[in-house]
Amino acid sequence: MPTNPDVSNAAGHTLRRVLSLPALVLFGLVYMVPLTVFTTYGVVTQISGGRTALAYAATLLAMLFTALSYGAMVKKYPSTGSAYAYASKSFGRTPGFLAGWSLLLDYLFLPMINYLVIGIYLHQSMPQIPVWVFIVAAISLVTVLNIIGIQSVSRFGNLLVVAQIVFILVFIALAWHTLQKQPLLNLATPFLGDNSAPGWSPLLAGAAILCLSFLGFDAVSTMAEEARRPERDIPLAVIFTTISAGVLFILLATVSQLILPGSHFQQVDTAANEIMQALAGKMLVAFFTATYVAGACGSALASQASVSRILYCMGRDGVLPRSLFGRLSGRFQTPVCAIVLVSAVSLLALVISLETLASLISFGALVAFSTVNLAVIKSYLLDGGRHSLGAYLRYGLLPLIGFTLIAWLWTSLSTLTLQIGMGWLLLGSTYYLFFLRRKQLNPQQAFN
C-alpha cells in the first residue's frame, strides 16, 4: 500500500499521516502506561505467590516473538485494523472477522479497565465521592479528546508519559535509598516468591493476565494509516515499545516486591498504595495516585483511539455496518460513531471487577497474538514459491515459537475467563453466520 499523505475512505474523508517514529513509540508507551505494572500488581502477586517480576519476564519473552510478527505483517500490509486486517488478508474474511471480533474483546475492555482503576484510586483518596462519578467524568473527557483528533491524543499523552517517568525516577531513588539500609536484602526474592503458590501453574496464570500490560505494541499497529512512514516506523516502534516497557515492568515489579515482600495485601486492587505507604508514607501515596490516574487517563485516550480505528476498518470493509462505523467525521476526520460506542461500552466499568476484566482483556489479546503469528507463516511462506533458509527462519521458526509461547499462556487462563471468551467468540460467529449471510451475501456486499 503506498504511503500517500492521507488515506481515504468511501466518503472521501481521510486519516491524517502525522505520526513520526518517536510519536509512535510514545503512543505505545502511553497506551501501555509505564505505571500499568501497578494495575494488576496485587492480583498477579497473589496468584503467583510473590513472583510478579518473574511472571513479567515470561510474558515479555512471548511478547518479543509476537512483536516481531506484528512488525513483519505491518511491512506487508501497512493498514489500520491490526490483527483483523492481517488475518483477513492472510486467511480470508471469515477468519479475519473472527480475529477482529476477538480483538474487540480486549480493545473494548482496555479503556474500561483504565476508567475502573481511575475510579478505584480516586475514590480511595476521596471516599466521600462515589466511584461512578469519577468513572463517568473520565469517560466524558476522553471521548471529547478522541473526537477532536489523533494529534490531541498524541500531544496530551506525551505529557502524561513524562509525568510518569518523573514519578518512576523518584520511586526508584527512594527505593534505592531505603534498600541500601537493609543488610540482609535478598535480590532473588521477587523471582523466588514466598512459597504461597509454588510451581509453574500459578506463575503462568499470572503471566497470562499480564498480557494486557503489553497491548501497547499491538496498538501501535493500528496507527499504520496515520504514520508518516508505516513500513519502516511501525515495525521499529513495535519492537522499541515492547522491549522498553517489558524491562521497565520487570524493574518496577522487582523493586516493589523488595520494598513490601510477600503476596498478601489489605486491598488487592490498590496494593500499590500499600507499597508507597511502606516506602515513604502518605506524600508518596498522593504523588503516585495523581500520576497513576493521569497515566490511566492517557491509556484510556490511546486505547479508545485504537479500538475506534479497528471498528472503522471493519466498517469500511463491510463486516460491521458501514453507515455507522465505516465513515469519518467531516469536521474532525475521526470515526465519531465508533468512539461514542466505545464510551458506551466502557460504562460497564461501573459493575465489573478488576480481576475479571483483566483476565478477559488477556483472552482477547492471546487470540489476536496467536492469529498474527500464524498469519506471518501463511502470508510469507505458504502464499508463494520457494524461499531461502533465512526466510524460513524469520517467517517460519520465529512466529512458530511465538505461537507456541502464546499457546502456553492460553493454558493458564482461568475457567471463567475461557468460558466468557468462548461465549464472545460464539456470539461473533452467530452474528457473522446469521446476520451477514442471511441473504446469502458475502461480507463485502452485506452493508451496501
pLDDT by 10s per residue, the chain, length 448: 344 444 444 444 556 676 788 888 887 777 777 788 998 899 999 999 999 999 999 999 989 999 999 888 888 887 666 787 888 888 888 888 888 788 777 778 888 988 999 999 999 889 999 999 999 999 998 888 888 765 555 566 667 778 888 899 999 999 999 998 887 788 888 999 898 888 888 998 899 888 878 876 777 877 777 778 877 888 888 899 999 999 999 999 999 999 999 899 988 888 999 999 999 898 999 999 988 888 888 778 877 887 887 788 778 877 778 888 887 777 777 788 888 888 998 998 998 888 788 888 888 888 888 999 999 999 999 887 678 888 899 999 999 999 999 888 888 888 888 888 889 889 888 888 876 665 455 544 443 4
Q: Report angle CA 298, 299, 305 to the nearest 5 degrees.
A: 95
C-alpha cell at 339: 468512539
Q: At what angle do helices 41-48 and 271-280 cross, to 10 degrees?
A: 100
The Cβ-side half-sphere exposure at 164, using a 13 Å CA radius, reads: 29
Please give the single-letter amino acid code of residue 283.
Answer: M
Partnered with residue 16 across adjacent β-strands are 6
Q: Is residue 317 part of a domain?
A: yes
C-alpha distance across the termini of the chain, in Å = 24
Q: Is residue 221 part of a domain?
A: yes
C-alpha cell at 170: 523518584
* Residue numbers of the domain that contains 380: 6-436
Q: Is residue 182 part of a domain?
A: yes
How many domains, the chain? 1
Q: Kindly report the backbone phi and psi dihedral angles of residue 198, in degrees, each rounded to the nearest multiple of 5, phi listed first.
A: -75, 165
For residues 361 and 417, give the distance between their C-alpha atoms in angstroms, rounded to a whole number.
9
Q: Is residue 447 part of a domain?
A: no
Q: What is the CATH number of the domain that holds 328?
A: 1.20.1740.10
For residue 16, what is the enclosing H or E element?
strand 14-16
For residues 441 and 422, give the distance between their C-alpha atoms in angstroms, rounded to a whole number.
26
Please give the single-letter amino acid code of residue 53.
Answer: A
For residues 121 and 114, give the distance between their C-alpha atoms in angstroms, rounded to a whole number.
11
Closest CA to 83 of 376, 357, 300: 376
Q: Is residue 448 part of a domain?
A: no
Q: Is residue 1 part of a domain?
A: no
How many other CB atoms are found less than 10 A from the CB of residue 182? 10
